[in-house]
Structure 1
Amino acid sequence: MPLSFVSFRPLFLTASVLFLGGCASLSQDGGFSSVQSMTKERIGQEVKWVKSDADANSVATTIQPLLAQPLSVDDAVKIALLNNKGLQASYSELGIAEANLVQAGRLKNPSFTFGRLRRGDDIEIDRSLMLPVMSLLTMPIASKIERRYFEQAQLRAAAEALAVADATRHAYFSAVSAQETVKYMTQVTASAEGGAQLANKMAAVGNWSKLEQARQQSFYADVTVQLARAEQMQVAEREKLTRLLGLWGSNTGFQLPDRLPDLPKAPEAIGDVEVQAMQNRLDIMMAKRELSGLADSLGLTKATRFINILDVGLMHNNYNQSPSRENGYSIQLEIPLFDWGGARVAKSEALYMQAVNRAAELAVNARSEVRVAYADYRSTYDIARHYRDEIVPLKKRISDEQMLRYNGMLIGVFTLLADARAQVISVNGAIEALRDYWIADSALKMAQTGRSSAGSGAKASNSAAMSTD
């Protein structure tokens, strides 16, 4: 017999639920446009998610002209943001988070059961369609939670890009400084070798004491060791930069400038660095997202602690011995006899309070970090300026005066060489002070936009103090 329109109503309901549960879909860029905008807003550099051979070829085309000339710090950062493989791997977290978000917006697949039972000459056929109704009811909250997780993943990706940029700037200035030190120490070693040879000749003919001869030999031995250490440091710092740039093969022969950038005429005028850090730091923004997400998660846990499994099914029975059909529905409900959900709620509340206190700690630490970074920035600028304006010019003036006296035969060549020993310390100190300033400048920018570099204030020295006796 024909079925009435009313009998199709459950089917229409089923189709509507399935349609609503399957409408979520993946975006074309995986949410990467937000990462691009956050990164460019903070450091003015473009980032790219390499997901195909065409993207890889585009990156290679972009970086090759940059590698053909001495790298600037901005070029180095650009290459690292495009070519660093670890950074590219971190972008995959976006895809994972977006997949979870889309999954949260889709219902679990309905289950269909079919049964056939024979009792003598009678055959019983059972058919049922089970729909996860509870998933539909909690879908808006679950989707909202996953949306916040996805936003956190975007912030983490942008923070990773900022961290790579900061590490690249640090490695760049260290590599250029190490290269400059090697060049200077090579000149000093050549001069010390000439002085030692002259001292040996003069001591051989009795015109120089054994003490003065030993001093020249000692100075030559010291600078030889210092040159070897400087060369070792140069290799280490250059390789660190190479790794951050993601280079291999022939591309590792890139050129660096002969010297560090000049010190600015004045330190950069910065407003309230703590306020800027609270507004712009990505780790603070991530902590806020985590708190909001946990709050939503706590609400979901309370809502489903009793009714956490609710399935509605449509049933249809047909007996071959009867012309009639039986229709109905069934509800499967979990009975809270043993687990009343209190432990899950307590866990969610504990996780939320843990996140609250960690966010508060993060805010306190961020304020402290940016204050330290700014103090380091100002002190390194003052030190570098003191070397530039006072120490190095004074040493040069002393050297010029000594040269005049030597030309007037008022002092000997070894007095002139002894004065050169004192200059080694000041010149190396000036190189390191300028390097430290640029590293501190980068660390201050990072402290205002993301988690500051660990140990930014600890600077390795490329040279050891030499005796001037």
Structure 2
Amino acid sequence: MPLALAALAGGCAHYQPATLAERPALVAALPDMPAHPLSAAEVATLAVARDPDLVAARAKGGVAEAQLVQAGVLPNPSLTGAFLPLISGAGTVPAWNLGLAQDIKALLVYRPKRRGARDSVAQVRADLLWQEWQVAGEARQLATDIASREQTRLLLQEAVTILEHRYRVTQRALAAGDVTLVTAAPSAVGYQQARTNLQTLDQQQLQDRHKLNALLGLTPDAVLPLAPVGAVAPLDIAAARATLDTLPARRPDLLALRFGYAAQDEALRAAILAQFPDLILGGSTSSDNSRVVNAGPTLQLGLPLFDRNQGNVAIARATREQLRAEYAARLSATVGQVGALLSELAQLRDQLAAVERDLPAARAAAVRASTAFGNAALDERAYVDLVTNRFTKEQEVQTLKLALLDRQIAIEALIGAGLPGVDTLGLTDPGTRGAAR
């Protein structure tokens, strides 16, 4: 007996404390930082590996795996026994009894619970892949926005430099009484607007750098060198629209919802099977105090007079219906979202083409204005308006180009272009397993 108890104790889990983090895990620089500035694709790869929320999400996979292990454990049989020493009477020896029993109802629901646990694990894995898609898309978009705005900043800084010079000149002339306030006003307004545009861009840059650093597990003040945005192949809108029909089989979030529905479907199966009465089968043997030994089967049957598991069946059925509705809503929203972004992309392309057609004329007008103003053939207001119009058009082109890139990156993240597919999970679509069950 002592050896048997020691063997049982050896197979048991043991407690070990795990302390919480005492300080944030943010770092000031990436380990093994490449010598070259990072492209948007490299930043996306790093974000998937380092994002703190993704690291925490991956730990959920361990919980689901543990639940799968628990679902695969068969219910233990129960052992009963008693030793009854002789106290008084005609008997000659102590009495005893020994019984072994197994809960049969627990075996009935074993298979659906096991399948449901497998589907829950698959749901967690698909959810994790979807989070990786989102993090990769967000990191790529932030890196692209930051690098693109650096090019826009050069234009805004040039506008500030030119208009600040005119502002200083006219302010000195105004102080000397050589010009009126009406003459000095255009340069002051133009300079203030140009400076405001530059400050707004710098504020957005800082906010986006902070967001990007957070995705990479960096401190807010860490400096991440980014490569300029190179030529990006335009998205084929027709080909992207053609992928909408296959999104349910390719989008991890939709696949996760399908696995969640399958897990709940198994929960409903288990609840229906649990309507059967509690049934415990076993056998026992006993000896009374006159050495008469008895042995035979035992049966314990629950009487389903009040509780027929009707509440759990109703809850499981309603939950399954809720998940079915959620999947339908997500599918509609997904197709609608991608379709809307594709329409916006087409509109932005048309708008960019129109602004780019106007840009050469605005540049030429600014050059002529500078020459005419230098020859005193153009007043201050007209000069400032033409120079400001040129930089406004330049900024509008850059803004539309960035908006196009953002839409394209968002669409590619939503349809999974260039991202790991659900086939990398090694999972079977639950919709193809219904008949086999």
Asked if structure 1 preserves the Cα contact closer than 8 Å seen for 2:341 and 2:411, the reply is yes
- Assess, with a 3 A threshold, how the Cα gap between structure 1 residues 70 and 421 changes in structure 2: closer, same or farther: same
Asked if structure 1 preserves the Cα contact closer than 8 Å seen for 2:123 and 2:256, the reply is yes
Distance, in Å, in 2 between the alignment partners of 1:149 and 1:266 is 36
Q: Which residue of 1 aligns with 2:314?
A: 346
Distance, in Å, in 1 between the alignment partners of 2:234 and 2:312 is 60
Give yes or no for the alignment of 1:200 onto 2:168.
no
Alignment match of 1:316 (pick from 271, 285, 296): 285
How much does 1:338 deviate?
Answer: 1.0
Asked if structure 1 preserves the Cα contact closer than 8 Å seen for 2:105 and 2:279, the reply is yes
Give yes or no for the alignment of 1:304 onto 2:274.
yes
Q: Which residue of 2 aligns with 1:8?
A: none
Distance, in Å, in 2 between the alignment partners of 1:110 and 1:419 is 90
Distance, in Å, in 2 between the alignment partners of 1:390 and 1:67 is 40
One-letter amino acid of the structure 1 residue matched with residue 183 of structure 2: E
- Assess, with a 3 A threshold, how the Cα gap between structure 1 residues 398 and 253 changes in structure 2: closer, same or farther: same
How much does 1:414 deviate?
Answer: 6.8
One-letter amino acid of the structure 1 residue matched with residue 191 of structure 2: Y
**Which deviations, in whole Å up to 9, do the C-alpha atoms of 1:310-364 show, x marking residues without a partner?**
3333433345652x64333323322111112333333333223333333222322
Distance, in Å, in 1 between the alignment partners of 2:179 and 2:338 is 58
**Which deviations, in whole Å up to 9, do the C-alpha atoms of 1:80-137 show, x marking residues without a partner?**
0000010111112221112111211111333333322234154233333333333233
Kindly, what percent of the aligned residue pairs are identical? Answer: 19
Distance, in Å, in 1 between the alignment partners of 2:149 and 2:163 is 20
Asked if structure 2 preserves the Cα contact closer than 8 Å seen for 1:67 and 1:254, the reply is no
How much does 1:143 deviate?
Answer: 1.0
How much does 1:142 deviate?
Answer: 1.6
Alignment match of 1:152 (pick from 123, 142, 148): 123
Q: Which residue of 1 aligns with 2:210?
A: 239
Structure 2 unaligned runs (5+)? 1-26, 418-437
How much does 1:234 deviate?
Answer: 1.5
Q: Which residue of 1 aligns with 2:47?
A: 80
Which residues in structure 2 correspond to 1:389-400 (within 5 Å)? 389-400=356-367
Distance, in Å, in 1 between the alignment partners of 2:248 and 2:235 is 26
How much does 1:205 deviate?
Answer: 4.8
Distance, in Å, in 1 between the alignment partners of 2:276 and 2:39 is 62
Q: Which residue of 1 aligns with 2:338?
A: 370
Asked if structure 1 preserves the Cα contact closer than 8 Å seen for 2:140 and 2:409, the reply is yes
**Which deviations, in whole Å up to 9, do the C-alpha atoms of 1:241-264 show, x marking residues without a partner?**
1111222388x211123x544464
Q: Secondary structure at the match of 1:331?
A: strand
Distance, in Å, in 2 between the alignment partners of 1:242 and 1:359 is 34
Q: Superposition RMSD on alpha carbons, in Å?
A: 2.9
One-letter amino acid of the structure 1 residue matched with residue 42 of structure 2: D
Asked if structure 2 preserves the Cα contact closer than 8 Å seen for 1:267 and 1:381, the reply is no
Alignment match of 1:285 (pick from 237, 255, 280): 255
Name the TM-score, length of structure 2 as normaliser: 0.78
Q: Secondary structure at the match of 1:338?
A: coil
- Assess, with a 3 A threshold, how the Cα gap between structure 1 residues 269 and 69 changes in structure 2: closer, same or farther: farther
Asked if structure 2 preserves the Cα contact closer than 8 Å seen for 1:263 and 1:384, the reply is no
Asked if structure 2 preserves the Cα contact closer than 8 Å seen for 1:305 and 1:344, the reply is no
One-letter amino acid of the structure 1 residue matched with residue 209 of structure 2: R
Give yes or no for the alignment of 1:216 onto 2:183.
no
Asked if structure 1 preserves the Cα contact closer than 8 Å seen for 2:190 and 2:384, the reply is no
- Assess, with a 3 A threshold, how the Cα gap between structure 1 residues 275 and 249 changes in structure 2: closer, same or farther: closer
One-letter amino acid of the structure 1 residue matched with residue 45 of structure 2: K
One-letter amino acid of the structure 2 residue matched with residue 378 of structure 1: A
Distance, in Å, in 2 between the alignment partners of 1:429 and 1:255 is 26
Name the TM-score, length of structure 1 as normaliser: 0.73
**Which deviations, in whole Å up to 9, do the C-alpha atoms of 1:252-305 show, x marking residues without a partner?**
211123x54446467555151421323322233233323333333322222221
Which residues in structure 2 correspond to 1:104-123 (within 5 Å)? 104-120=71-87, 122-123=93-94
Q: Which residue of 2 aligns with 1:334?
A: 302
How much does 1:147 deviate?
Answer: 1.3
Say which structure, 1 or 2, has more relative contact order (CA 8 Å, 6+ apart): 2
